[in-house]
Amino acid sequence: MILRLVKPSSGSILLHGRDIYSYPIELYYTMVQGIFQDPYTSFNPVKTILDSLMDAVSLKFKAGNKKINKVESLKTVESLLLKLGMNPSDILAKYPHELSGGQLQRILLARAFIIEPELLLADEPTSMIDASTRMAVLDMMFQLNREKATSIVFITHDLSQAFYVADKIAIMYRGRIVEYGERDEILSNPKSDYTRQLLSSIPKLSERWFKI
């Protein structure tokens, strides 16, 4: 609903005190962006990766009433891909179906960096990314948060990631929030039985899982 893909059946979602549906759609998507667990549905299948990323550049410049410098924009795109562990010459001319899910998730993060939204909704953003590059992607999200003041809603089933990236954590059970608070407080003093069950289920290196 935050991304305006599904309209609320009741109530409203506010951004800067305004209903999100009161914003023109192009302006709204310069303020709010998403990274999805299934990235394949996030790209136009008939456009190359370069075309999709340049669309993000166009959206940003159009919102700011600025002219696009294509040379500088291409340099920015290439630099972002390199930071995310991808070779631009191997990526930009390809179509979405020619890339892996992990590559597409990283390209979605690159798109968010181009637009510099106020809010980034990240739904399991590293679910398809190799463990070797996962930390680099999370650190780039930190960078977006620190340098551009982007707020991030990070949705995950991985508690270790949640505790790594979050300032505050909301624990959900059957679609409802059962606990919300500061990360360290929830980690050290969970109030909900469900939260305690989740924490106890995290494997500990110092413990054996079963006896032989």
Dist CA 209 CA 20 (whole Å): 48
Same domain as 180, residue 161:
no
CATH number at residue 39: 3.40.50.300
Q: H or E stretch including 30?
A: helix 25-31
pLDDT digits (tens, 9 = 90+) for 127-171: 888 877 788 888 888 888 888 888 999 999 888 888 888 899 999
Quote the pLDDT of residue 51: 94
Same domain as 176, residue 160:
no
Asked if the model's pLDDT at residue 199 lies above 90, the reply is no
Higher pLDDT, 210 or 153: 153
Residue 84 is given by DSSP the state T
Amino acid letter, 72: E
Of 95, 120, 127, nearest to 29 by C-alpha is 120
pTM of the model: 0.80
Of 116, 4, 119, 17, nearest to 64 by C-alpha is 116
pLDDT (average), residues 38-59: 90
Domain count of the fold of the chain? 2
Quote the pLDDT of residue 145: 84
Beta pairing class for 32-35 and 119-123: parallel
